[in-house]
Structure 1
Amino acid sequence: MFNSSEFKVYQSSNPSATKSPNAMNGVTIGLIAGTPVLVIVSAILAYLLWKKKSIGDRVEDLESALEMNNELEMGAIIPRRFSYLELARSTADFAETEKLGEGGFGGVYKGFLKDLSMYVAVKRVSKTSKQGMKEYASEVRIISRLRHRNLVQLTGWCHDKGELLLAYEYMENGSLDLHLFKGKSLLTWNTRYTIAHGLASALLYLHEEWEQCVLHRDIKSSNVMLDSNFNVKLGDFGLAKLVDHENGSETTIVAGTIGYMAPEYATTGKPSKESDVYSFGVVALEIACGRKPIDPHAEERKIKLVEWVWDLYGTGTLLDAADRSLGSNFVEEEMTCLMIIGLWCAHPDSKLRPSIKQAIQVLNSEASLPILPSNMPYVTYSALPHFSLYGATLSSSSNKRSSRLSASSTANS
């Protein structure tokens, strides 16, 4: 509070303080009356700014994350950057009639690029998928730099108008699971054995032959694509990670598909070459047996493919697991070989799995078959204290498992 002398000094030095009470009241009323208008205008501006950001932030965040202009130019061959209009026109504006399938992060459509005279498969990342943006970034960053006959090639990419699109070479015969489980065609044994070789070759390139080690993290039959001649092409690198050849991944986030995930990876969240090899082993058994990794409708002992086949191995009746749709039209030695390699790669103890190079040597008859325990070993792993789970195909029940696992490991031989 001012005393009287202080108030006089304040009046003389502040002309506005000498205004009449009526003038002061007018200013006060004006401010009060204008407040709701200011609030409304501010709210409108805030909404417009938010809306503008919500439309553009997917692309802006992506540009920052990918550093597109620099990173893509590092590759020897740069996939083409398409406009949204080009890819939309190629798929008849993403018509349902052109839809090839629906993945965890969006739909895939058949398209035809007139100027290139070629068919493509266009993946349209769902706008509601936050993880989809990371998948898109991973695909462009990694697969655009890989060159191998057994890998799906990225034709081009697009991030315009708030859309994230990827264009791949079109695979006429779709994915392996369509043939094994959905009756698209009956794959002959020779074709199946060739597919197993091709998938192993792709994994060898990713793990050992490229400049960095690529951990795919989602090897499964639905990601194994087949061209017009049934040559295998491994696709979907949305979950892939680059690591140094000598160092493992520090990631503690589980992403993948139940049934194909190695037990230590599902528990600790740390992907590795060994966890990729486990997934390859499961696919090898699918190829030989014509069965999915988990069949909840099967008899109790047959629900889990690896456990069932291992039981038959232990009783010397391994060929009973051969795909019945083949009848007797397979080479017994090759069928036995592929099943044992599948079990070896899917060994519960990651330390006892082969490298993919060792598995190929056995496939090529350059090394003898391994001798496995007659009973499937059971190994438990400790969960890391701060790992989390995500993934469109990952069951939430996996979270419960970590609390039941301990650091001990046991094996029954």
Structure 2
Amino acid sequence: MHLRSMNDDLERGTGPRRFTYKELDFATRNFSSDRKLGQGGFRAVYKGYFFDLDLSVAVKKISRGSRQGKKEYVTEVKVTSQLRHRNLVMLLGWCHDKGEFLLVYEFMPNGSLDSHLFGKRAPLPWSVIAIGLASSVLYLHEEWERCVVHRDIKSSNVMLDSSFNVKLGDFGLTKLMDHEIGPQTTVVAGTLGYLAPEYISTGKSSKESDVYSFGVVALEIALGRKAVEVMSDKDGEKGLIEWVWDHYGRGELFEAMDGNLQKNFDEKQVECLMIVGLWSIHPDVNIRPSIKQVIQVLNFKAGLPNLPPKRPVATYHTPPPLVSSVGVSITTSLQDGR
């Protein structure tokens, strides 16, 4: 879509508004370093303030000359401007002016989930946070007019408002599909540690690959450990997922959980979150739950699944030639919470 055409479409609507570069420059004090909330890849995020509206915002600035950044900017504006849900970060406006590309979002005073998980862990309603994230994914997958595959669900893209309500953000990698259409072949994109194995192998993103990413975040919440962390066990070093699955198989799940959670969770909630996390990352996509099933179990409206004591080995059909040359676009998280 051409930028001029996109401008015309958006300006006719009642959603996000167009800002001038001058307005955003003023709101962020010339994008000063003390206003920077985080940086990663080809974008930086700044805190802005509009005095006339008495409104704090987060301004995402795309690096000049970044083709991938511009592509994700267009996707983010097109998709996010149409979405409305209590658990999604709201796009307030956009700007492409003087060769700059910027997005304006509602400001999240409590930053990103990862800053709470892996920093000084304060008492938070972790179960409510997990259910809020699942609710945002349910809306994207099943409740909007088209199916939205996010493709980059991770703890640094889960934002927390002033009341610690979950808001999923960063829609630059999303794919729109009709509800009846199956997985689509794409360039593999996302963040290491959160990518479903079948997505890496076949290049096909799907609702199931989003559920896998959700499962990784659920385990990060319960364990207080990063998805890419290498763990030491009696059998030697292993990845986080294999490590926690082995604890499940030995009936030792509570030994794997974050000790700081014990004050804020009851045992039933912790067990539920961890088993749902493992279920969601099951290598077999046919066994992996839908996000609706995840919510039912987290709300104790359905029973826990019976999982094998050892993590199953993933097997996939050899992809056709079209997929074998799929490129890889892996992003890294912002260094600080936004």
2:122 to 181, 186, 203: 186
Task: Write the deviation string for residues 107-132 of structure 1: whole angstroms up to 9, x where unpaired.
Answer: 00000012221000000001132100
1:7 corresponds in structure 2 to none
Instruction: Please list, as runs of the form range in 1=range in 2, the aligned pairs for 1:313-324 lying within 5 A after superposition.
Output: 313-324=248-259
Cα displacement (A) at 1:276: 0.1
Task: Write the deviation string for residues 38-89 of structure 1: whole angstroms up to 9, x where unpaired.
Answer: xxxxxxxxxxxxxxxxxxxxxxx8516x63313x2575x3201000000011
Larger helix share, 1 or 2 = 1
Alignment partner of 1:392 is 2:331: yes
Alignment partner of 1:122 is 2:59: yes
In 1, Cα distance between the equivalents of 2:225 and 2:300? Answer: 25
Q: Is the 8 A contact 1:348 1:378 kept in 2?
A: yes
2:147 corresponds in structure 1 to 213
Aligned-partner SS, 1:168: strand
Task: Write the deviation string for residues 156-190 of structure 1: whole angstroms up to 9, x where unpaired.
Answer: 0000000000010000000000011122x4233xx
Task: Write the deviation string for residues 326-348 of structure 1: whole angstroms up to 9, x where unpaired.
Answer: 34542000100000000000001
2:73 corresponds in structure 1 to 136
Task: Write the deviation string for residues 272-303 of structure 1: whole angstroms up to 9, x where unpaired.
Answer: 00000000000000011101111147557564
Aligned-partner SS, 1:127: coil
2:285 to 350, 354, 359: 350
The alpha-carbon distance between structure 1 residues 236 and 298, as it changes in their structure 2 partners (threshold 3 A), is farther
Unaligned segments of structure 1, at least 5 residues: 1-60, 395-413
Q: Which amino acid aligns with 2:311?
A: M
The alpha-carbon distance between structure 1 residues 309 and 166, as it changes in their structure 2 partners (threshold 3 A), is same
1:307 to 242, 248, 263: 242
In 1, Cα distance between the equivalents of 2:274 and 2:330? Answer: 29
Larger strand share, 1 or 2 = 2
Q: Which amino acid aligns with 1:370?
A: P
The alpha-carbon distance between structure 1 residues 318 and 301, as it changes in their structure 2 partners (threshold 3 A), is farther
Instruction: Please list, as runs of the form range in 1=range in 2, the aligned pairs for 1:288-299 lying within 5 A after superposition.
Output: 288-296=222-230
2:182 corresponds in structure 1 to 248
2:301 corresponds in structure 1 to 366
Identity fraction in percent: 59
2:43 to 99, 106, 124: 106
Aligned-partner SS, 1:316: coil
Q: Is the 8 A contact 2:11 2:17 kept in 1?
A: no
In 2, Cα distance between the equivalents of 1:115 and 1:103? Answer: 30
Q: Which amino acid aligns with 1:248?
A: G
The alpha-carbon distance between structure 1 residues 134 and 349, as it changes in their structure 2 partners (threshold 3 A), is same
Q: Which amino acid aligns with 2:87?
A: N
1:326 corresponds in structure 2 to 261
Aligned-partner SS, 1:159: strand
Cα displacement (A) at 1:239: 0.4
1:279 to 181, 191, 213: 213
Could you state the TM-score of these two structures normalised by the residue count of structure 2?
A: 0.92
Could you state the TM-score of these two structures normalised by the residue count of structure 1?
A: 0.76
In 1, Cα distance between the equivalents of 2:270 and 2:102? Answer: 40
1:161 corresponds in structure 2 to 98
Unaligned segments of structure 2, at least 5 residues: 334-338
Count of equivalent residues: 328
2:30 to 87, 93, 97: 93
Larger relative contact order (CA 8 Å, sep ≥ 6): 2
Q: Is the 8 A contact 1:179 1:187 kept in 2?
A: no
Q: Which amino acid aligns with 2:171?
A: F
Cα displacement (A) at 1:209: 0.2
